[in-house]
Chains A and B, each alone.
Chain A
Amino acid sequence: MSAPKTLYDKIFDDHVVDRQADGTCLLYIDRHLVHEVTSPQAFEGLRMTNRKVRAPEKTLAVVDHNVPTSDRSKGIQEEESRIQVETLAKNAADFGIEYYSERDKRQGVVHVIGPEQGFTLPGTTIVCGDSHTSTHGAFGALAHGIGTSEVEHVLATQTLIQKKAKNMLIQVDGTLQNGVTGKDIALAIIGEIGTAGGTGSVMEYAGSAIRELTMEGRMTVCNMSIEGGARAGLVAPDEKTYAYLAGRPKAPQGANWDAARRYWDTLNTDEGAHFDRIVKLDANNLPPIVSWGTSPEDVVSVNGIVPDPSAIADEVKRESKIRALSYMGLTAGTKMTDIELDVVWIGSCTNGRIEDLRAAADILKGKKISDRLAYMMVVPGSGLVKEQAEAEGLDKIFIEAGAQWREPGCSMCLGMNPDQLLPGQRCASTSNRNFEGRQGFKGRTHLVSPKMAAAAALAGRFVDVRTMN
C-alpha cells in the first residue's frame, strides 16, 4: 500500500510526464486559458521560432481585461486596447484556438467562463497567464497562474516545468453567520497568514464551512489563494461540484460522465496524508471583513478600527504600513464604520458570479444607494451571468437602486479599461487587490464581500451587514 496522499499529490502525480533526478518535473497541462494581455508576446515567440500550438483543442481564448463595459456595438475606442483585443482574435484564428470575442455572450472574465463552460473539470491541470487562475481549484483542479514565457511554453509543448510545492491545509470549521461569506473567509485567512504565508505552497481548503459553501463561494475562496501567496488553492470535489458541472457545454456526457465521476470520487486527501502546515479558522465567530490598507493582508473586522502601525518592530514593515495609511488617507484608530465612500464596485473573477449579484441585489432591493456616492457600478462576470441576472430581474433592482448595470469584463478590478477611480476616490470593491493604483491612479480600494459592498452603498460608509434587514 502506498503512502497516504493529499489531493494535490494525487493530481500532480497523475500529470508527471518526466521527472529529473533533482525533482524538476515536466507536468502535463490539460486546460489552457488565454486572454489578451499576457498572450501577445507568447504567440509572437511561437511565430519567431516557427512553432505550433501543440493542442489547440485544450486551449480556450477570451478577451476580458481591456474590454469596455459600456456599449460595444461601435467597437473599442481606445486604440491600444483595441489592438490588443484584435491581436488575440488574430492569434486565435491563426493557431486554431476557440475564441470568445467581446460580442459573444459566452465572453466574460476568464475565470468565470472556464467553470461556466465546463472547461474547468476536477482532477485537471489548468493554467492561464493570470494569477487568479487559482479560482478553478474550487473544482478540485490544480490551477495556477503563469507568466507569458510559460504561456508560450504551454502553447508549444502542453507542459510546464515544475517542482512539487508544499502542502498547506486551511481547515475552516463551523457555520458562517448570516451575512458572512466566502470572501470574508478568504480575507480572514490572508490577514492571519500574510500575503507571503502561502508562498511555495498549494493550499487545500477543508472543513465543514468549506463544504457548506456553494461552488461560487468556493471559487471566491480559491481565487484569493494567490493573495495569500499560494499559486493554487484546492477544494475536493463533491456532489455540489458535480451538480454545477452536469450539462455544461464542455463537461463530459453519457458514459464519459460516469467514468469521470468514478475518477473524481478518488480526488480527496487520504486519511493521514502529510501537510507541511495547517492553519485553522473558526467560521462561527467570523465577522464581515474589510481591508484598510494597500495589501490584502491589511484587514480588520467591520467593527474594528484602523490599526496603528507604529508598534511594528521591523522597520521596513513599519514604514510600509505607515505608507499604506498615508496612501489610503486614513488615521489609526478610526472606526471602520466611520469611513465614508465615493464609489462602490461589484464584479471581478472573485465576486462577479450570479450568486454574488443575487447577494448584492438582495440587500439593495427596493432601496436607494447613498447620495454620497459618485456612482455604484455592477459588472457581471460574463455574458451568461448577465443574461441570467436579467432573467431574474436583478438588473432592475440595481438600476432602481441607482447603480450602473454594465457589460461583462474585468473592468475596475484593475482598470485597464475606462472604468477607473479618480485620484483620492475611495471605493468599496468586491475585487481581490487593494494595491496602490490598482483601480486607478491614487485610487483607494477597500476589499469586501458583495453583501458588504451593497450595504456600504446604501449607507455611503461601511456597515455591518449582519445588522441590516
Chain B
Amino acid sequence: MQPFTKLTSTPAPLKVVNVDTDMIIPKQFLKTIKRTGLGTALFSEMRYKEDGSENPDFVLNKPAYRKSEILIAGDNFGCGSSREHAPWALLDFGIRCVISTSFADIFYNNCFKNGILPITVSPEDLDKLFDDADRGSNATLTVDLEKQEITGPDGGTVKFDIDPFRKKCLIEGLDDIGLTMEKAPKIAGYETKAKADRPWL
C-alpha cells in the first residue's frame, strides 16, 4: 500500500449528501476480478451522458478539477454497499483524500486499506472548505497527516482527528495482514480456548 503523508491539490467539491457507493461505482463495473482500472468508471452515471460522452456539469469533468486528488463531499459519504471497488475507483482516478462531515463505516474502513485518507470535519469547516473548493484552480489545500491539519489557500488551518493506529498504518503504508500474522500464536491460543468453551462451533 502506498503510504500517505502529505498532499497538496485543488479540491473538487461534490455538494451532495448521502453519496452512496452505487453512485461512486455502479454495479456493472463490479464484475471485474481485478482491483485496478476502475478510475474511468468513477461516478459513471453522473459523469457521463447516456451516449457515453462527458457530462460537462459534473465536477470532475470541469477543467479545474480533472486532476483533483482531494474530494470534498456532503454528509454520510460512502453509504450503502460494502464494495471496495469504491475506494479502488477513487484511487485509480487519483483521489487520495476525501473530506466530509461523516462517512459510512465500511467505506471509511476500506479507505485505510488502500492508502486513502478520509477526513471528518465539522459542518462549519465543511462549508468553508466548499467555498475554497469553489475557487477552482486558484485555490489549493494541503493535507498533512502527521500534523493532522488541512491548510487552506489563505493560510487558515483546520485540525482533524484520526485513530492513532490507522494513522500509523497509513503513514508507513503497512500491510495489516502481515501485522496480524505476527499474532498467530495468540490466535491459536484463542482457538484452543474457544473450542473448550464453545465446542459446537
Measured CB to CB, the residues of A under 8 A from B are 17-18, 20, 22, 24, 26, 28, 30, 37-38, 40-41, 44-45, 49, 51, 54, 65-66, 80-81, 83-84, 87, 121, 123-124, 129-131, 144-150, 152-153, 156-159, 161, 163, 165, 194-196, 199-200, 226-227, 229, 231, 252, 256-257, 259-260, 263, 295, 297, 315-317, 319-320, 323, 414-416, 423, 433, 435-438, 441
Contact = CB atoms under 8 A, between A and B. Distances in A.
A26 B82 contact: no
Nearest to A157: B180
A316 B109 contact: no
B22 A196 contact: no
Interface in B17-42: 17-18, 20, 22-23, 26-28, 30-35
Nearest to B17: A320
A305 to B, nearest CB: 22
A45 B114 CA distance: 13
B144 interface: no
B52 interface: no
B26 A437 contact: yes
Contact of B74 (A44, A144, A320, A441): A320
Contact of B102 (A130, A163, A196): A196
Given A131-B80, A161-B176, A252-B200, A17 B183 contact: yes
Contacts of B50: 423
Contacts of B130: 316
B20 A147 contact: no
A49 B28 CA distance: 29
Contact of A199 (B76, B186, B201): B76
B61 to A, nearest CB: 17
A293 B201 CA distance: 43
Contact of A153 (B33, B87, B177): B177
B71 interface: no
B186 A17 contact: yes
Contacts of A414: 22, 27, 81
A100 B72 CA distance: 42
Contacts of B17: 316-317, 320
Given A84-B31, A227-B80, A252-B200, 7 more contacts: A40-B32, A54-B187, A148-B35, A157-B187, A158-B191, A196-B104, A231-B106
B165 A20 contact: yes
A37 to B, nearest CB: 5
Contacts of B92: none
B74 A81 contact: no
Contact of A159 (B113, B163, B187): B187
B186 A18 contact: yes
Contacts of B87: 147
A414 B163 CA distance: 33
B176 A416 contact: no
B190 A28 contact: yes
Of B33, B80, B81, B181, chain A has the most CB atoms within 10 Å of the CB of: B33
A229 B76 contact: yes
Nearest to B123: A314
Interface of B: 15-18, 20, 22-23, 26-28, 30-35, 45, 50, 74-76, 79-84, 87, 102-106, 109-110, 113-114, 130, 163-165, 176-177, 180-181, 183-184, 186-187, 190-191, 194, 198-201
Nearest to A231: B105
Contacts of B74: 316-317, 320
B194 A441 contact: no
A70 B45 CA distance: 27
A196 B80 contact: no
A231 B165 CA distance: 21
Contacts of B163: 22, 24, 163
B165 A24 contact: yes
Contact of A435 (B80, B180, B181): B80
Closest 9 CB pairs of A and B: A149-B113, A252-B200, A40-B33, A80-B31, A147-B110, A147-B84, A196-B76, A256-B200, A145-B82
Contacts of A18: 183, 186
Nearest to B179: A161
Contacts of A263: 198
6 contacts: A17-B183, A51-B177, A54-B187, A124-B201, A414-B27, A416-B27
Given A146-B82, A263-B198, A437-B22, A41 B114 contact: no
Contacts of A435: 20, 22-23, 80
Nearest to B87: A147
Contact of B16 (A131, A259, A320): A320
A198 to B, nearest CB: 9
Contact of B80 (A156, A165, A194, A433): A433
Given A17-B190, A161-B180, A435-B23, A229 B165 contact: no
Given A22-B164, A416-B31, A153 B180 contact: yes
A227 B181 CA distance: 33
Of A41, A144, A152, chain B has the most CB atoms within 10 Å of the CB of: A41
A252 B176 CA distance: 34
Contacts of B15: 315-316, 319
Nearest to B16: A320
Contacts of A40: 32-34
A157 B105 contact: no
Contacts of B33: 40-41, 44, 83-84, 87
A270 to B, nearest CB: 19
B45 A441 contact: yes
Contact of B200 (A152, A257, A323, A423): A257
A121 B201 contact: yes
